[in-house]
Structure 1
């Protein structure tokens, strides 16, 4: 039931924004009783935080599994950049994929969400360091946050403009030492 509620939170945020998140709306979307919302979450901030962390946990697991498939395949940095671009393009823009951007912006307004946003970006940084180290890229820990921010920024730009013309792999290769 808790997972249904969190999925409903992401759907509502991705569809209509954070302002649309009400206990009644989430209960209806999740097809649970109104009391279930308050049973599982003491506050709306708790619900938003857990939705953000849940998304990133699932996304990190998915990307880690993908990275592990290619770990021993002898990919070059160029191959990895192209693979990253393909993964980004294949994500699509379902409401649940738009929601994290809204939540990150909300974390800028709500100090109670900042630790969760920090945890999310730390998970992406850790995954990126693992991939970069696997590729033998020097200074992976230093480069990872910039690489994560670049990919997130390009995704946000893609979302905001509807354009799919950016070359993510070229951007990645510009940031990595050769």
Structure 2
């Protein structure tokens, strides 16, 4: 007997499928037929749960933001409750930046952020996520004793994202990202 998923479960399967498709083939690869196939649901379920592609992209971005914000907030709390040293900071940056592998799960957010640049209705969700990244960066920098941590946080986040894009485009190793950040620290912290 075929089990029919609950509506909330179906929505989740659709969103998960959308994020996988975006990571594999970009937003242009998101079609209702492909979503249905990838999610293992009927074609009609896609349009039943999401009337427009904008709604689908927005919900996917919001879900990513919610999950990422929870993850980053937990890491920031960990930095606040435990003393962080340079090795711990480097390890955390590597974890936030996606570890060693760059797969479709790591590529999809970039596609969604680019889409937010084109569609102002998606910008609030992207802004929320970047604020969480900034808070974590500020906490790490503060833990390392870097003066002006709050002011530098956004720049560090931008560097991490730029390095991630570089990794994506060139296949360069994750260690280059951490090394780039360590060179920015004041004398005595990065050497």
Structure 1 residues 49 and 22, CA gap change in structure 2 (3 angstroms): same
Correspondence for 2:91 among 80, 83, 91: 83
What is residue 160 of structure 2 aligned with on the other side?
151
1:74 aligns with 2:88: no
Higher Cα Rg, which structure: 2
Q: TM-score, normalised by structure 2?
A: 0.79
Provide Cα deviations, 1:108-149, integer angstroms capped at 9, x if missing partner: 222332232222212222232333344443322211111111
d(CA) in 1 for partners of 2:58 and 2:129?
10
Deviation at residue 79 of structure 1 after TM alignment: 2.5
> Relative to structure 2, which stretch is displaced further, 97-106 or 56-65?
56-65
1:160 paired with 2:169, answer: yes
Deviation at 1:61, TM superposition (A): 2.2
Higher relative contact order (CA 8 A, sep 6+): 1
Deviates more, 1:95-104 or 1:61-70: 61-70
Any conservation in 1 of the 2:113–2:126 contact (CA below 8 Å)?
yes
* TM-score of the superposed pair, with normalisation by structure 1: 0.83
Aligned residues: CA RMSD: 2.4
Q: Superposed, which structure 2 residues align to 1:35-54 within 5 Å?
A: 35-54=44-63
Find the residue that maps to 2:101 and give its secondary structure: coil
Q: Deviations over 1:31-67 (max 9, x none)?
A: 1222322233232112112212212322332343344
2:65/2:125 contact within 8 Å kept: no
Query: Any conservation in 2 of the 1:56–1:120 contact (CA below 8 Å)?
Result: yes
Q: Which residue of 1 aligns with 2:14?
A: 5
Which blocks of at least 5 consecutive residues in structure 2 are unaligned? 1-9
CA contact (8 A) 2:65 2:126 kept: no
Task: Please name the residue that 2:127 is paired with.
Answer: 118
Contact 2:76 2:135 (C-alpha < 8 Å) held by counterparts: no
Give me the whole-angstrom Cα distance separating, in 1, the residues matched to 2:66 and 2:87.
25
